[in-house]
Structure 1
Amino acid sequence: MARDELTQKPPGLSRREVLNAGLSLGVVGLPIRWRPFLPGRDSTPPAVPAFAYFSDTHVSLKRNVAECRALMEEIEGVVRPSLAINGGDVVDYGWKGEYDSYDSVLSGLPFRTHHIPGNHDVRWAGLGLKIFSERVGAPYRSFDWEGCHFALLDSTVPLSHWGHFESEMLRWLEDDLDRVGRRTPVFLATHHWVGRDQVMADNESALRKVIEPYNVKIVLTGHGHNDLLWRWDGFLCTMNKGLYQGSYQKVEVDRESGEIRLYRRTLEKPQLRLLAAVNLASDREKRKVWHVSPSEYEAGAPLTAPPDASEFRWNAGNWKPIESRSLGTEGLSPGVHLLSLRAGQEGQAESFPIRVNSKSAFFRSRWERKLSGGVMSHLLIAEGSLFVSAMDGAVYRLRASDGALEWRAKTGGYCHSSPRICAGTLVVGSADGFVYGLDPKDGAVLWKHPTQGPMYGSAAFARGVAAIGGGDGRIYGIEPKTGKETWRFELPPGDTAFVQSPAAADGERFYFGSWDKHLYALDALTGKQLWRRLCTQSTFAFSPAIGGPAVAQNRVLVPANGNELYCFDAASGEPLWKAASPGDKFGYSGPQIDGGRVFIGCLGDKGEVRCVSLEEGKELWAAATGQVIYDSTPAVSEGIVSVGSVSGALWGIDAASGAIVGSFQFPTGHFLSSPAMDGRAVYAATYSDWVMRLDFS
């Protein structure tokens, strides 16, 4: 039977008989791919209170609805939980219709389900965390139950699949755990896993430092679609396959016996099996104090590991055995590297930031400043200052010469949007649904323009208008001095009609890439559509939406995620050429035009940066950094191209030849932002919360 054909309940069958026949009363019309396990129902209260944990429901408009509903009904009958927790990837694309489908999964159940977001809930969703919060609850929060404390964390990076614990949330978690004290049993939930050999959340070590003093019993994770159990610095961690794949867990809190019992159900073994039992009382052994001193070394100099550590790794590399107490720093680039140590896979673990210097370094740090949040935006150099927007909603003006703070303003949501100065006003969008006009001299809010969704995009300026797009499917033309809306352009309605990348302008027209697969050209004065061009024959996921457009010499360029770099005539929209990369793919990094050349990062394991001709798209050179490049758009100045790798490395590449001339390692944190250059200075910031100026000779 086709998936969209209706399935009717045969007359006279009981609810259990219907489920065992592969149907669900909760989701009429959708067959499931396997049978739930349904023993006889027991209406008596459970002797030991329990909650259910599952994750990765991935409910779409039709897929996985019946499977998840069947399992939820099984959970109701078998686990009989007081509550449940969904560990993220609640829906597949974050669309309203998917949340409507998910409502039917939970409908009528006698227990509350708490939710945390996963990357699928925020990556392709115009409304992202806004609709998540409206439909299933705040992205992070805490509550108490049966004498235990639950901290539900948001590990997502907006519009991305990476994991990260934003500093603002970690500060909240510190206060939250301090309030409950060190004896209260704590359950932690995060979509992206922690404590495994493959690092998924870049700053998991920062989370570990926050929770280490507390009585954390189980860390509940998802994302990996595997049924796993492991320990991280002594903390018990668990992961399930997706609920639609037949996996969930039961957790009992037995105060009479003084223990917590963890059970798992899988598709292959549908009867609950005991996985682990842990004491309710704090039973963490007193930790030995590990020191690595000093914290700064010349490249190649050895450092001494603590005697109880048996394994080490640099950054997110592979774990290696410590064969002598001396660990080398050979091969490490200048910058700040994370040294992680552990006493075996399940033993004590610690991490130490280690600065490596080199007398022959290409990049030299001029100044460094810690911000209050990570950075995903494009940095701006103007008026002798550096302007930076951060993921805690802060906007900074720092003196370019020494990094001194000139002012700090705060919006009501995270700032994926980059600051732009338009006719004397600093314009920036915020996830709180407003476009802000700030006085660039002191950061005072001059105006706030309301929209209907998070404002991901960044403004461009032409003919007295600042134009900016966002998650609500609209592009706003705003008068920069007053904040008055001069025009509004509505993208054709659809779940994927939204803008996340910076706009481009050429004095007469604005250009926007959209998740509806099109590049748009709008008249700067009126907002009228002049032309639009389809940039992929595939699904919306291959849209020209992440790497923003760039315009020069009457040509507008935009990358699409299907490994295509398009060049159109700026006035007419006529296609001029289309290029494909033979190695890593075009699509995420935006193009940077300098004279007759175009520089662009490519997505893939080689970490390639490419230079093509503006005239015909012919490849001039390719440079392989060896580290994945994601959203970072190159900057170019004084014959040097700079770009960031996700791993935190800033690269310097000779613009003429493509030779890699140097790199610098930022402290731990994804590098998803785009650097700015001025003369022989590079300004860059990452999810580490650090912003730096690096000079080169």
Structure 2
Amino acid sequence: MSPRPDPVVPSSPLGRRRFLTLAGAFGGAAAAWGGMGAAGTAWAAPRAGVTGPAASAAGVAGAAAGSGAPLSFAVLTDTHANVGATAGLDTLRRTFASVQAADPTFVLNCGDITDYGADDEFEAYLSTIPAGLRDRLHHVPGNHEVRWDLHAKELYHRLFGPAPYSFDVGGLHVVGLDPTQLLQEPGHFGRDGLRWLADDLAAAGPSVLFLHFPMGAEHYYVNDQDAFFETVADLPVRAIFAGHIHREQVVRTNGLTQVSANAVKNGAFYYWVDRVSDAGHSVLRVSAVAVAADGTETRRDLTTIPLEEDRTTRQLRPVRIDVGAPSGGRVRVDVQVPSTGSTGTQAQVYPQQIFGGGSAGTWADLTRTSRGWSGSVEVAALAAGAHRLQVRVLGAGGARWDATRPFTVPASGGAPRDRWQARLPGSIQGALAEHDGLVVAATTSGAVEAFRPTRAGREVAWRTTLGPVHRGPAFTADGTTVLVPSADHHLYALDAADGHERWVFGVPDPVLSSPLVTSVGGDATAVFTAGTTLYAVHAETGEQRWKADLHGFFAGRAACDGDRVYVGGGDGRAYAFDAATGAQAWSYDATTRQDSYGRLLYGPWDDTVELLPGGGVLVSTVSSAAALDRASGERRWSVAGSYVYSPSPVTDRGVVLIDEWGRVQLVDPATGVATWKAEIGARALNSGPVVVGDLMWNVAVTGLLACVDLTDGTVRHRRQLGPANTFSTPVLVDGLLVTGDQDGTLRGIELP
């Protein structure tokens, strides 16, 4: 068994000494927060959040004691530090200099601190912060910190502390939230995150929340934001500060005021917030500040946020919402509100197919009745399955209250049929694994479960708990061992019969790729990546065969033909390595971008590499899918499109290409010429198709299950499985499709 290295300080070009120096200068976060937990044998309730660094919180609290004392703070966001963008770093220095001169009690940064979370970007960002401001600065991560984070948030946590967290200052409760998802673009709180928030706010006074993604209005960046609003509906949340959209916006919704801030990336902008008394009522007065190149400041009043309960807006909260059964292509909705304060009410089908984006919506105005508001919404075009109806009650001055209710569109005969559901702790982000009817699912909370699905439910074989799992496990060819990659710096080999550890291979970095089990020289070999290194280990013993430098981060899955291993790299290139020795055979430049950020984004960093018949290998990016010659690395053909995220299975009829926008085509593996093209109606990321004969079943990222006939591209079935995003590739067992999603929900779906 290989030793488990200490994962406390990640491998990093900064080096251990430089890393600790930076972290120490920024308030000692590296010393205050330790490493990740070890593996266990039974599920334990995951730790959903922590309180912020004690020293920092105490310092802030001491700066303004008592709810009546003057209190001022600054808010900024989307700083996007990049070592190659010197003008942007100068803008950031100018912004921080202005903030320091104003002497705030504390400062909030709403995320996207860096362009892509690189070590040198964090170093560049920290170098712009005046020493006198460091212990007053509080952060939350944005999607740019986690989307390509080979450290799995470890570096971020050691520089800035974990999130969520909270602190109190002068009678104001401040909460930093983190709905970001490692390796993904949009947000998701999850049950544990919302439970932590409810517990944190239960005994709090007037509260200010800050996070990266705005919620409500036209924003659909957080998949379970409706659950968030339900969670805080009776809690003392008065204000939310957010970023992400790089523009300024003020929204009064659900009894609170949300300020979305302009980005420092756009210029030297920040927001100044004073707690003042207005006609005897405590309020937050928010001003927008712009700093010119010569340091001249321009301040503009933006909004005033009441710290007492906003009774006017809360009177818009519906007392009752009744959603009828769909009939004649429409669904009826009746909304009862507590008073006549509402000026209008609208309803729409919740835009489930909007993934990490915005939508003005397709709202239908309801008609006022003696009891509230009534009307109907068009649902004829919806797929059968589970949907949400979104209701918006409008009030004076732009105030509103949003609420959602579930409804179901019934399926016709011969359609896929839901048989059962079960929930695991955490999110099922990686693909499911299956061998001889045994299915293994692993979650971001570290829960691993093996079960045998039936039409009546699932028979659990065993459970265990490891570190967080973000990519799919894999069985050995004989089915006796299942390999599980974990962000706790280990690849685990578990006995498929009972889940006990056969061996554990430790590495300096989180394992954020899907392992490939292949045969090299007659020996079962596991190939995977961690950090910027490609590893090959004996699948029976866990002993290392070789390792190779990938020169960048790779979160996908390699391919191997027994002679060579083919893999993508975060440096914009694809590589071939000798499968026996790890010696590099060739590399292929997959992008024309020259900067490090561009080469990562536009390279094959998250590709599931596929072998093609006739000596080819398929490597994909957000720009194209390219068939390369396995012997030389020369390109044979390419198809334009963003095919990097969804696996591209090779079938008897050809290669199935699915781009991230849900466009599907079947191409000839020899030429790349398309036989047919189709659209499944929703975006597809990470979750790949299951092929059964001439039918392909695919779960889109929005939870839409679609069946495509491989003979002609006809979409035969569509079913909405649920509200959660899906990144996990399903498996098929005896006609039962088993799926997993970000809510941790497993489903058994009987296929027609």
TM range (shorter): 0.7 to 0.9
Alignment of 1:488-507 (within 5 A): 488-492=547-551, 497-507=552-562
Alignment of 1:10-409 (within 5 A): 48-63=70-85, 64-78=88-102, 80-110=103-133, 111-178=135-202, 181=203, 184-244=205-265, 245-254=267-276, 258-267=281-290, 270-284=297-311, 285=314, 287-292=317-322, 300=329, 302-308=331-337, 310-316=345-351, 317-323=361-367, 324-344=374-394, 346-360=399-413, 362-401=415-454, 402-409=457-464
CA distance in 2, matches of 1:512, 1:60: 27
Matched residue of 1:590: which SS? coil
CA distance in 1, matches of 2:191, 2:576: 38
Contact 1:127 1:471 in 2 (8 A): no
Aligned length: 639
Q: 1:264 to 1:411 in 2, by over 3 A?
A: farther
Q: 1:501 to 1:228 in 2, by over 3 A?
A: same
Q: 1:205 to 1:445 in 2, by over 3 A?
A: farther
CA distance in 2, matches of 1:461, 1:452: 21
Contact 2:516 2:528 in 1 (8 A): no
2:472 equivalent to 1:418: yes
CA distance in 1, matches of 2:465, 2:362: 39
Tell me by how many angstroms 1:45 deviates: 9.8
2:741 equivalent to 1:686: yes
Tell me by how many angstroms 1:94 deviates: 0.9
Range that drifts further, 515-524 or 300-309: 300-309
> Residue 647 of structure 2 corresponds to which residue in structure 1?
590
What letter is aligned with 2:604? Answer: P
Tell me by how many angstroms 1:593 deviates: 0.7
Residue 567 of structure 2: which of 490, 493, 512 is its match?
A: 512
CA distance in 1, matches of 2:514, 2:527: 6
Calculate the TM-score normalised by the size of structure 1.
Answer: 0.85
What letter is aligned with 1:434? Answer: H
Matched residue of 1:249: which SS? strand
Q: 1:621 to 1:87 in 2, by over 3 A?
A: same
> Residue 26 of structure 1 corresponds to which residue in structure 2?
none
Tell me by how many angstroms 1:377 deviates: 1.5
CA distance in 2, matches of 1:272, 1:447: 61
Q: 1:380 to 1:555 in 2, by over 3 A?
A: farther
Q: 1:404 to 1:251 in 2, by over 3 A?
A: farther
Range that drifts further, 240-249 or 326-335: 326-335
CA distance in 2, matches of 1:447, 1:174: 40
Contact 1:453 1:470 in 2 (8 A): no
Tell me by how many angstroms 1:501 deviates: 0.3
Q: 1:173 to 1:555 in 2, by over 3 A?
A: farther
CA distance in 1, matches of 2:535, 2:163: 28
2:694 equivalent to 1:639: yes
Matched residue of 1:101: which SS? helix
CA distance in 2, matches of 1:612, 1:342: 45
Q: Gaps (5+ residues) in structure 2? A: 1-62, 338-343, 352-360, 368-373
2:606 equivalent to 1:579: no
CA distance in 2, matches of 1:684, 1:177: 34
CA distance in 1, matches of 2:328, 2:583: 57
Contact 2:319 2:336 in 1 (8 A): no
Contact 2:626 2:639 in 1 (8 A): no
Matched residue of 2:321: which SS? coil
Cα deviation per residue 1:49-88 (whole Å; 9 max; x = unaligned)? 212111100111042111111111111122x211111100
Contact 2:492 2:503 in 1 (8 A): yes
Q: 1:596 to 1:510 in 2, by over 3 A?
A: farther
Tell me by how many angstroms 1:623 deviates: 0.6
2:664 equivalent to 1:609: yes
Cα deviation per residue 1:184-238 (whole Å; 9 max; x = unaligned)? 1111112011012131111111211222221001111110011110022222101
Alignment of 1:659-678 (within 5 A): 659-678=714-733
Matched residue of 2:643: which SS? coil
Tell me by how many angstroms 1:449 deviates: 2.3
> Residue 28 of structure 1 corresponds to which residue in structure 2?
none
Q: 1:405 to 1:50 in 2, by over 3 A?
A: farther
CA distance in 2, matches of 1:596, 1:574: 25
Residue 494 of structure 2: which of 426, 429, 438 is its match?
A: 438
Contact 1:465 1:524 in 2 (8 A): no
What letter is aligned with 2:510? Answer: P
Matched residue of 1:158: which SS? coil
What letter is aligned with 1:148? Answer: L
Cα deviation per residue 1:328-375 (whole Å; 9 max; x = unaligned)? 542221111111112026323211122222223632212222232223
> Residue 11 of structure 1 corresponds to which residue in structure 2?
none
Residue 544 of structure 1: which of 597, 604, 607 is its match?
A: 604
Contact 1:119 1:161 in 2 (8 A): yes
Matched residue of 1:343: which SS? strand
Calculate the TM-score normalised by the size of structure 2.
Answer: 0.79
> Residue 455 of structure 1 corresponds to which residue in structure 2?
511
CA distance in 1, matches of 2:501, 2:525: 16
Q: 1:262 to 1:306 in 2, by over 3 A?
A: same
2:701 equivalent to 1:620: no
What letter is aligned with 2:346? Answer: E
> Residue 48 of structure 2 corresponds to which residue in structure 1?
none
What letter is aligned with 2:155? Answer: I
CA distance in 1, matches of 2:673, 2:121: 43
What letter is aligned with 2:299? Answer: L
Q: 1:368 to 1:677 in 2, by over 3 A?
A: same
Matched residue of 2:230: which SS? helix
Tell me by how many angstroms 1:458 deviates: 0.7
CA distance in 2, matches of 1:638, 1:591: 16
Q: 1:49 to 1:302 in 2, by over 3 A?
A: closer
CA distance in 1, matches of 2:64, 2:729: 57
Matched residue of 2:215: which SS? coil
